[in-house]
């Protein structure tokens, strides 16, 4: 399984217009409106609530925000790129150049953990990260995401072992 299976070119934005975390998240939620969610406004509120409750992840130039909500019809990701970078408050000194927003149906938390782990592995793979942030078209972004593996069972088992 690879990250491209959770997205499609229409959910990928090679040049984000937003310059703040909140605006970029809103821009990506609009893309998800017709694919992963049934109510963009409610889902946007769920992402912001998740931000307030536990915050998002920012690692090595990649920001990852998510929203758990009953309006999330399926697990999907939208991705946007910013050449100038987006200030990510938890890591204000650095900016992120790729932003992922994931829709999480209430029964899909385990799979989301696997996607988060895959995104973090992308952040740690310098060649793949550079390939992603230099993409000019959604189809190029989709191709890069095809090279990032998601391993659900390993991450699900890892999390279950930590809970014991």
Q: H or E segment at 80? A: strand 76-87
* pLDDT at position 59: 87
* pLDDT at position 92: 57
Whole-model pTM over 0.85: yes
* pLDDT at position 160: 39
CA-CA-CA-CA torsion sign (5, 113, 66, 27): negative
Identify the DSSP state of 65: E
* pLDDT at position 159: 41
User: What's 3-163's CATH class?
Assistant: alpha beta
Non-local (6+) Cβ contacts of 76 within 8 A are: 6, 7, 11, 32, 35, 36, 102, 103
The position carrying tokens 């931000």 is 51
Beta-sheet pairing, 12-13 with 76-87: parallel
Per-domain boundaries in the chain: 3-163
* pLDDT at position 139: 98
Task: Please classify residue 92 by burial: count the beta carbons closer than 10 Å to its beta carbon, then call 0-12 exposed, 13-18 middle and 19+ buried.
Answer: exposed
* pLDDT at position 37: 83
Residues in the chain, how many? 164
The ranges of the chain with pLDDT < 50 are: 154-164
Cα–Cα distance, 5 to 86 (Å, whole number): 26
* pLDDT at position 122: 94
């Amino acid at each position: 399984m690879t990250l491209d299976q959770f997205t499609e070119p229409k959910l990928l934005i090679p040049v984000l217009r937003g310059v703040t975390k909140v605006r970029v998240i809103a821009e990506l939620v609009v893309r998800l409106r017709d694919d992963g969610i049934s109510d963009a406004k409610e889902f946007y509120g769920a992402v912001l609530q998740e931000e307030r409750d536990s915050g998002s992840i920012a690692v090595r130039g990649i920001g990852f925000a998510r929203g758990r909500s009953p309006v999330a019809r399926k697990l999907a990701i939208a991705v946007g790129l910013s050449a100038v970078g987006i200030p990510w408050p938890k890591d204000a000194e650095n900016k992120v150049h790729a932003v992922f927003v994931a829709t999480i149906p209430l029964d899909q938390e385990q799979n989301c953990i696997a996607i988060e782990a895959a995104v973090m592995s992308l952040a740690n793979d310098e060649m793949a990260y550079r390939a992603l942030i230099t993409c000019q078209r959604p189809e190029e972004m989709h191709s890069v995401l095809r090279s990032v593996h998601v391993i659900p069972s390993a991450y699900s088992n890892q999390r279950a072992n930590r809970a014991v």
